[in-house]
Amino acid sequence: RWAEDKLYQVSEDDPRPKWYALTMFPYTSGDLHIGHWYAMAPSDVHARFKRMQGYNVLHPMGFDAFGLPAENAAISRGIHPFVWTMQNVDNMRRQLKSIGAIYDWSREVITCLPDYYQWTQWFFLKLYENGLAYRGKAQVNWCPRCQTVLANEQVVDGFCERCGAAVIKRDLERGSSSLTW
């Protein structure tokens, strides 16, 4: 019924003070588990609190749908990574709706879809055009079998967690940023 009534859908014309709540998007490599809700519940509670205080609360939801963990999970199951990712998005959306989280689903984002990543690409190009992003050499973990850079967390005792090949250190030209937070 909440979905039918569009209870948590935000209107830009609403005269109430605005409040923006955002939780980290779940990574689409499998089902949601209690650890996801443990991370999401505080922002959900805070969004409800601000709503009860009279704020027009925008609380969107999205899915972090890029990366090796989802790709690895799909490959290990013999499924195309995009198909696997979108199946997980559908399942996670169903799970989140069933627990009654107050997300504005009309503003959902899925990071592997062009309507989302076109904006991250546009933003990066603006940084590059203004000299805030540049290319430079850096040492990286390289898997010669997968032909890809690995994060430190993807190297287990010197071996690629994906294929088991020995990982080498390699100087590689890559993007960097002069931004600091």
Does residue 142 sit in the same domain as residue 109? no
Residue 124 within any structural domain of the chain: no
| pLDDT 10s digits, 14-68 | 999 999 999 999 999 888 889 888 889 999 999 999 999 999 999 999 999 988 7
CB atoms closer than 10 angstroms to residue 91: 14
Does residue 88 sit in the same domain as residue 155? no
Number of structural domains, the chain?
A: 2
Does residue 27 sit in the same domain as residue 111? yes
Does residue 102 sit in the same domain as residue 149? no
Does residue 88 sit in the same domain as residue 162? no
What residues does 64 pair with on adjacent strands?
Answer: 27
Residue 11 within any structural domain of the chain: no
Distance CA 47, CA 56 (A): 10
- Domain encompassing residue 139: 135-174
Segment holding 143, helix H or strand E: strand 133-143
Does residue 156 sit in the same domain as residue 77? no
Segment holding 62, helix H or strand E: strand 60-63
The CATH number that applies at residue 92 is: 3.40.50.620
Does residue 109 sit in the same domain as residue 141? no
Does residue 107 sit in the same domain as residue 166? no
Does residue 28 sit in the same domain as residue 95? yes
| pLDDT 10s digits, 89-121 | 999 999 999 988 889 999 999 999 999 999 999
Helix 81-98 and helix 68-77, axial crossing angle in degrees, nearest 10: 110
What residues does 168 pair with on adjacent strands?
Answer: 142
Does residue 93 sit in the same domain as residue 149? no
Confidence (pTM): 0.77
Does residue 24 sit in the same domain as residue 112? yes
| pLDDT 10s digits, 121-156 | 999 999 999 988 888 888 999 999 998 899 999 999
| Mean pLDDT, residues 162-168 taken together | 94
Residue 13 within any structural domain of the chain: no
| pLDDT 10s digits, 80-96 | 999 999 999 999 999 99
CB atoms closer than 10 angstroms to residue 172: 13
Does residue 151 sit in the same domain as residue 106? no
Residue 147 within any structural domain of the chain: yes
